[in-house]
């Protein structure tokens, strides 16, 4: 019996895993039904994906911050955080949150700057991480 | 991305200057920043002793190369290519 117990445990675990994969989440299992072909609120996210993401499929602006859920996901903003919105000029929020500034010389990681853009909004420069940029400094006159 | 260290009046650049400059160059789909407090100079090798100045910034926000004066945009693009191929 001592030798059978681990084997039975393994078989049971394998059976359990095969019957109910942990990564196959179905909103219907939570008592909620959905249709992946529908986007009831017209925010660009289908109803099932809304449920998976914890969004309201009947509201195009789940957090009530004035921006549609789909637009917030596209720009990297949280559609469930009223204080997190897309930039007015449409820049993505691409700060990975793990950038550590090292200095101001060539080769250094520059610090995160807060600058006002042409939409008169304060922008964090780390939100432009993930792509190359050429910073061109000049005067308006 | 553009940054204005001085506005149309010659004083520190304002948000209005950024808006006007964006309209002047055709409302581009890249940011025009107003650097009213000269924070870019402290955060990069730029000096503001001459302008324009150009810096290439890598995806990890590291400073790849900087230039002062006209005619360095092509060189900056070459720096991007070289850095990306490393």
pLDDT tens for A69-101 read: 999 998 888 899 998 889 999 999 999 999 999
Alpha-carbon distance B73 to nearest alpha carbon in chain A (angstroms)? 8
Most confident of A26-30, B8-12, B61-65: B61-65
Kind and range of the H or E run holding B56: strand B53-57
- Evaluate whether A141 touches B7 at the Cβ level (below 8 Å): yes
Interface contact B48-A128, CB threshold 8 A: no
Q: In what order do the strands lie in the sheet with A133-139?
A: A122-124, A114-116, B32-34, B2-6, A133-139, B53-57, B63-68
Per-residue confidence (pLDDT) for residue A30, from 0 to 100 = 58
- Evaluate whether A106 touches A94 at the Cβ level (below 8 Å): no
Per-residue confidence (pLDDT) for residue A29, from 0 to 100 = 54
- Evaluate whether B6 touches A140 at the Cβ level (below 8 Å): yes
Q: Which of A111, A115, A132 sits opposite B33 (nearest CB)?
A: A115
Q: Is the pLDDT of residue A10 over 80?
A: no
In this predicted model, which residue has the larger pLDDT, B44 or A32?
B44
Domains of chain B, by residue range, sit at: 1-43, 45-86
Q: Is the pLDDT of residue A3 over 60?
A: no
**A-chain residues within 8 Å CB-CB of B2?**
135-138
Angle at B30 between CA B27 and CA B36, to 5 degrees: 90
Q: Which of A91, A123, A138 to mutate to test the interface with B (most CBs of B within 10 A)?
A: A138
Per-residue confidence (pLDDT) for residue B13, from 0 to 100 = 95
**SS3 for A64?**
coil
Q: Which of B29, B51, B64 sits opposite A137 (nearest CB)?
A: B51
């Amino acid at each position: 019996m001592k030798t059978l117990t681990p084997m039975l445990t393994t078989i049971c675990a394998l059976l359990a895993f095969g019957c109910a994969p942990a990564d196959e989440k179905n909103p219907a299992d939570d008592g909620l039904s959905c249709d992946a072909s529908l986007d009831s609120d017209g925010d660009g996210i289908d109803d099932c994906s809304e449920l998976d993401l914890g969004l309201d499929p009947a509201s195009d602006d789940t957090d009530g911050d004035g921006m549609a859920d789909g637009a917030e996901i596209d720009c990297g903003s949280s559609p469930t955080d009223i204080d997190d919105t897309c930039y007015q000029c449409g820049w993505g929020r691409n700060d990975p949150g793990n950038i550590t500034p090292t200095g101001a010389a060539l080769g250094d990681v520059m610090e995160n700057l807060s600058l006002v853009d042409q939409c008169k909004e304060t922008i964090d420069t780390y939100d432009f991480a993930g792509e190359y940029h050429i910073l061109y400094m000049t005067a308006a006159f | 991305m553009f940054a204005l260290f001085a506005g149309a009046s010659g004083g520190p650049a304002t948000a209005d200057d950024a808006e006007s400059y964006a309209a002047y160059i055709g409302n581009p789909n890249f940011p025009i920043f107003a650097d009213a407090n000269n924070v870019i100079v402290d955060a990069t090798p730029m000096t503001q002793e001459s302008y324009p100045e150009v810096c290439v910034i890598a995806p990890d926000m590291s400073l790849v190369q900087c230039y002062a004066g006209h005619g360095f945009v092509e060189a900056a693009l070459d720096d991007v290519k070289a850095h990306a191929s490393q």
